[in-house]
Amino acid sequence: MLNFDQYQALTFDCYGTLIDWENGMLSALKPILNSHEIQLEDEQILEYFAEFESTEEQIYQSYREVLQGVVQRFWRSLPLSAYASRAGCLAELNSALATFL
């Protein structure tokens, strides 16, 4: 058993530890993508997200701005442009991702 008296602080990453980030993100994004006839496997969505997030995090900005950049990259990289008349898709994606802040 650990002797907790020898420690002054305990830290850990909350995303993936306390918060089920991936399932939350998928449950927010999949219905929106599907409603715009974008059919992606869960792994594909997560891979896109990881790639886009990594790129956005290369410059200093708030995480809200990172998520907005991720949404814009989804918009540009997926066939969402074919549904430009459904411009609400971008706002829906942004709103869905913003719920994680």
20 counts as catalytic: no
Q: What is the pLDDT of residues 36-59, one digit of tens each?
A: 778 889 999 999 989 998 999 999
Joined together, the tokens standing for residue 32 give: 């929106």
Mean pLDDT of 2-20: 76
Q: What is the pLDDT of residues 75-89, one digit of tens each?
A: 788 765 555 445 455
In percent, the amount of the chain with pLDDT more than 70 equals: 71
Res. 97 pLDDT band, cuts 50 70 90: low
What lies within 8 Å, CB to CB, of 48 at 6+ separation is 40, 73, 74, 77, 78
Joined together, the tokens standing for residue 80 give: 């969402």
For 4-98, CATH gives: 1.10.150
Can you give the residue ranges of every domain in the chain?
4-98
Q: How big is the chain by its Cα radius of gyration, in Å?
A: 17
Give the largest CA-CA distance in the chain: 61
Catalytic residue among 5, 13, 20, 42: 13
